[in-house]
Amino acid sequence: MKLHRPSRLCVAVLFCAVVLPALPAAANETLAQLEARVPTEPLDFTAAATAQVATLAEQVEAIEYQNSLYPVDATAEQILEVVENLVDAKARVDRLLRRTVEVRGRFVEEQDEEVRRTAAREFLVTTAILTELSGRIRYISFDALHEAAYDIRENSESRARMLEILTEYRSSIGAAVMAQGMLRPPVPGPRGPGVAATATEQAAALKLIRATRQHDMIDVVANFARSTSNPQLLISAAVTIRRIGLPQPPRPGSDPTLPRPAITAAELHALLSRIDASSLDESWNERRADLLAWLDVRRREGEPDATYRLGNLDVREGDWLLMRNPSPYNLFTDLSPGLFTHVGVVTTERGSDGIRRFVVVDLPERGNAIPAVPVDTFVRRTLDYVFLRHVDDEAGETMSDVARSIIGNESHFDLNFRTAGIERLKGQDLAGKKIEGYCAGLLLLCAQATERPRSDFFPVAEHPAGGNTLANLEKLGISMGHDFLSPTGALFSDKLQLVGRRETMYDPRRQIEQAVYDHFAAGLREGELTPSPDWFQSLRERLAKASKNNPLLARALADAAGVNRNMDLVAAAKLGAVIETLDEIAYGASGEYRLAMTAMRSEPARGRLRRAQNERTRQLQKYQQRHADLYQAFGRGEISPRQLRIALVGYYVAKGKRQLNERFFREPEKQGEPEKQRE
């Protein structure tokens, strides 16, 4: 998100004039302290170590933000030094995160279950802190690299050097920034027109994307391939698409609301076919011919290989996808915070159109049939995911076969999070069988078919969170057994290799949403749930109760809600009322943050003639008046964009928590201390 540049510059000039010379040294020293403090042995993950890691991570983020600023009159060399320091810091944090995650499979070595569980919880907190830090530095880098690219836009030598630096460090966020600036038509900036990239620079930008294997750039590269008139650049764009992952076509009869692929094998083949071969030398013609042959197979038959390229990893059949979005469920067990909230299993399927696709099969809460979605489309639902792969290829093949066999089967999401329905299916032919369970139960369904012990996949037992959690969930008609499986539990298996992950990106709105959800989980544990549904929700619950003796009404309600007709509709109505209200509060708070930030970056609102403009003016005035002190301080350059963001995030997190207490909990003052806002 690009903030108000004049204020940024005022702060930058003031700050850099005083302390800029010391910043790189301070950053290196603090990062070194963080690297030294993060444990490398399972039992060294303690509450004390976690607290120190959290403090150092906050310091690193604050220093790196200041390190991203430079004075208005900075030379190109100084700007490039800032760029290199920033991408180097990001690379170091990512290496530290990878090193930490590698410890995950060694907790099984500890025999004492309580000791293992305590250390595992601290490991999860530490991993979450480092993941967040990586995302925050990526967030900082997005603005900083945009500023740097803009400020050296007329210096071709410096532009080339910046591309070299980003390629050397394989900076994925650098690829995103440079692709937007060089593979799209120039956009006028606040201080003048943009500068069109040369063909050499565009080729270098494509090389950077290939080096980072940044799959998120597929839309930009696809549009560039359509628009360029340079045949060599078109071929380079096609090579880049092949390198980062060619999108798969939608399944026949698939959900029309799913995102469409950025480009298909058929379209890219057509683009390359239109190139005049006589305009190319022998080497370029060889590349074009190789691409045409490769694309021809995929447009006619789909993916023929044992793997599918998805950015920086090659997905295989039987891989497990663990993903996370803001959710109230990640604190419901004693193995928390849950790093993941939903799962899927990768398999292949040849559709009625004859195309073979790599798809993700999952067991969603809504719906009454097991869906399958092309893997590259499925992962667009989340900003944070990993893929796990069993060390035994035969086990992977078996799990893939199970996932494929249940596509389209009737499904019944169990709101009591039981696995009994899954376990009953062990050893059976699954064709046409109803799959009754919850998301992580799908993993168990695939795992139990391998005849390997359950502990190979879920080595750390999980139980419901303590306090009042179970009693409060019972009010919603939900119970949780003491043999619970969560999406995060599989992370501790030493038989599952982590084969790839997506780099996360910090988002202030997601921070607000997750803080509200976490507060709800804390309230379940420490308070007394007293849900107050609105009129519509109350009516729905009454209808659900009435449907117990009216099969026709029950079917109508289930079909309208998009759930299995055998689901406990009363429990679903109660839970639905809570989740809808919770989502309304969480998304409402994050939405207000977005509007407030827009108002802070806007000129003072004044009345206009047209009604639509007047409505926008009233909205701007509302938030400029609500946050008048912040607005004035930011306009005068007295606070930085980062300080503004922290203040607004804190305000809307607190507002969301207050609303949540009013709707759900009688005695909010008896709950735990409010969480500390990261600065």
Q: Please write the tens of the pLDDT for every residue from 455-472.
A: 999 998 888 888 998 888
330 & 377 share domain: yes
Other C-beta atoms within 10 Å of 339: how many? 23
Residue 332: the pLDDT is 79
554 & 571 share domain: yes
Could you say which of 223, 238, 253 is where a domain stops?
238
Residue 401: the pLDDT is 98
Boundaries of domain holding 523:
510-603+614-665
Residue count (the chain): 679
518 & 499 share domain: no
472 & 519 share domain: no
**274 is a domain residue:** no
pLDDT at 185 over 90: no
**287 is a domain residue:** no
189 & 126 share domain: yes
**578 is a domain residue:** yes
496 & 516 share domain: no
Here the tokens at position 83 are 């760029």
C-alpha–C-alpha distance, residues 390 and 320, integer Å: 9
Whether the CB-CB separation of 72 and 12 falls below 8 Å is answered with yes
Could you say which of 455, 485, 504 is where a domain stops?
504
308-327: pLDDT as tens digits: 999 999 999 999 999 988 88
Could you say which of 238, 266, 293 is where a domain stops?
238
Residue 17: the pLDDT is 40
337 & 460 share domain: yes
Other C-beta atoms within 10 Å of 327: how many? 18
pTM summary value: 0.87
Q: For the chain, what is the domain count?
A: 3
497-541: pLDDT as tens digits: 999 999 999 999 999 999 999 999 999 899 998 876 654 445 445
347 & 410 share domain: yes
From residue 62, how far is each of 31, 86, 135, 317, 623 by CA, in Å?
Answer: 12, 12, 13, 42, 27
Edge-to-edge strands of the sheet including 320-324?
A: 372-374, 356-361, 342-350, 320-324, 384-390, 496-501
User: What average pLDDT does the segment 328-340 reach?
Assistant: 82
499 & 537 share domain: no
